[in-house]
């Protein structure tokens, strides 16, 4: 290598994931090599069972690879124990799920505050940060509403606010628009694109909708547990 490039934020080397054992085992990932640099916006696509969600879960330290190396800022994640992976999630990662995964019967503000509670610190500072995060996703004034009192799009905004309240390096989104109608989906994608553009948060998003993938700068296509296509694309959607 002639030019010394900055180390990528995330690096996968020969990552595999097998569910079950022996003959009955199912290989969801069959050796993935991947490099993602800081500030990127990556969409991961692929048919059902192609391993895209599994890859995202491993990227997010929610799941462990069966084999291979996973480096996060040069750190060997596959060698970390449960607590160390939890701390990595706490300080560097944010999650948005298809099913929102908010705590029921809990106000939007308290849901957003939750990650901060595990970090300690002053209650007043937590409140300010949580309000600020809700304002950033356009939910100022909805702080006291519980998930049941919010629409799907609003719930996903609360989930995004919860993910970004800790100012993570990487935001991982697993089909964030899967449960939303087209208009709400585009609103959520605009929000994610803005976060990536304005705050430099690296976004890794799994989706099966080409419309949503069009927001990303880079598109990775999974087929049968392998990367079939990896291309940088023009952002076609203007927010």
Q: Give the closest residue to 51 by CA, choosing from 179, 219, 228, 230.
A: 228
Q: Does 21 bind other proteins (CB under 8 A)?
A: no
x/- mask, other proteins, residues 97-116, rule CB under 8 A, reads x---xxxxxx---x---xx-
DSSP string, 146-176: -GGGS-HHHHHHHHHHHHHTT--SEEEEEST
Q: Which of 7, 75, 87, 228 binds other proteins (CB under 8 A)?
A: 87
| Beta-carbon count within 10 A of 55 CB | 27
Q: Which of 7, 75, 117, 125 binds other proteins (CB under 8 A)?
A: 117
Q: Does 89 bind other proteins (CB under 8 A)?
A: yes
Q: Does 157 bind other proteins (CB under 8 A)?
A: no
- Tell me which stretch binds other proteins (CB under 8 A): 14-22, 31-39, 62-70, 190-198: 62-70
Q: Which of 75, 86, 140, 228 binds other proteins (CB under 8 A)?
A: 86
Which one, 131 or 162, has the nearer CB to other proteins? Answer: 162
Closest approach of Cβ 115 to other proteins, in Å? 4
Q: Find out whether 168 and 95 touch, Cβ atoms under 8 Å.
A: no
Q: Find out whether 150 and 142 touch, Cβ atoms under 8 Å.
A: yes
Tokens (6 digits) for 129: 């940060």
Give backbone dihedrals phi and psi of 3, rounded to 5 degrees, phi first.
-100, 125
Cβ-based neighbours of 140, under 8 Å, separated by 6 or more: 131, 134
Please report, as ranges, the residues that interact with other proteins according to CB under 8 A: 57, 60, 62-64, 82-83, 86-87, 89-91, 93, 95, 97, 101-106, 110, 114-115, 117-118, 120, 162, 166
């Amino acid at each position: 290598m002639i030019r010394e490039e900055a180390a990528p934020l995330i690096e996968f080397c020969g990552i595999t994931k097998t569910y079950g054992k022996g003959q009955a085992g199912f290989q969801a990932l069959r050796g993935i090599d991947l490099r993602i640099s800081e500030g990127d916006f990556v969409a991961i696509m692929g048919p059902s069972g192609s391993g895209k969600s599994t890859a995202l879960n491993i990227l997010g330290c929610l799941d462990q690879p069966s084999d291979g190396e996973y480096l996060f800022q040069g750190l060997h994640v596959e060698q970390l124990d449960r607590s160390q992976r939890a701390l990595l999630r706490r300080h560097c990662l944010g999650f948005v799920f298809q099913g929102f995964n908010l705590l029921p019967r809990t106000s939007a503000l308290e849901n957003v505050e939750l990650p901060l509670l595990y970090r300690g610190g002053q209650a007043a500072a937590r409140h300010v940060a949580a309000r600020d995060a809700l304002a950033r996703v356009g939910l100022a004034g909805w702080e006291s509403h519980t998930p049941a009192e919010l629409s799907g799009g609003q719930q996903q905004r609360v989930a995004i606010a919860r993910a970004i309240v800790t100012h993570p390096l990487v935001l991982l989104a697993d089909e964030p628009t899967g449960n939303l109608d087209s208009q709400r989906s585009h609103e959520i994608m605009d929000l994610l694109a803005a976060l990536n553009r304005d705050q430099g948060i690296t976004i890794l998003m799994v989706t099966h909708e080409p419309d949503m993938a069009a927001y990303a700068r880079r598109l990775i296509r999974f087929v049968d547990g392998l990367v079939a296509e990896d291309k940088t694309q023009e952002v076609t959607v203007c927010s």
